[in-house]
Amino acid sequence: MDQLFAPWRIEWIKRDEKNSDVDGCVFCAFPEREDDRENLLVARSDHAFVLLNNYPYSPGHVMVIPRAHTGEYADLTDDQLLDHARLKQRTFEAAETALEPDGFNAGLNLGEGAGGSIGDHLHTHIVPRWQGDTNFMPVIGDSSVIVQALEETYDQLHEAFAAQEGATVPGAGRAVVFE
């Protein structure tokens, strides 16, 4: 029997509908919303943003998402590509500062065959990893244990992004901004 206690997930489960306020792509909608913290949007730049994953593989699992709506990596302009790469670099730095992982898994799911749930808007997953974090639960129990609430992870990463050179924080509940 797989039973894990995760009481913070009830809000996500009880919501009326997944992304019911979104017409079209959910990734296109996130940067337009008012409360970044509520929506787990941690940092933003001119052409990309960092979003905490609602279904993390481990604490600190984020996605760095270009604002351009495309599922094709080759469709990104040079400015979009460079900005996305720089925001990934800042994300690694923030995660190292806030979470002190032993390493990272990072990558893109491009196309439906790659296993991504949102194939028409590319995004890079960055997953902090620790020595020994793969244990019997996912291997034998077919379950994973997330040891930290999303809000706590958000606060740690937000603080680490805010401490970086060139960062500004426009106000309470807002993502760190890089220009």
Active-site hit among 47, 84, 123, 158: 123
β 41-44/176-178 pair status: parallel
Chain centroid offset of residue 169 CA: 18
| 124: helix, strand or coil | strand
Distance from C-alpha of 66 to C-alpha of 80, rounded to nearest angstrom: 7
Distance from C-alpha of 170 to C-alpha of 22, rounded to nearest angstrom: 24
Distance from C-alpha of 25 to C-alpha of 151, rounded to nearest angstrom: 24
At 104, give phi and psi (nearest 5°).
Answer: -140, 150
Sheet (strand 167-168) strand order: 103-108, 124-129, 62-66, 48-52, 41-44, 176-178, 167-168
Would residue 84 show up in a list of annotated catalytic residues for this protein? no
Q: State the catalytic residues.
A: 123
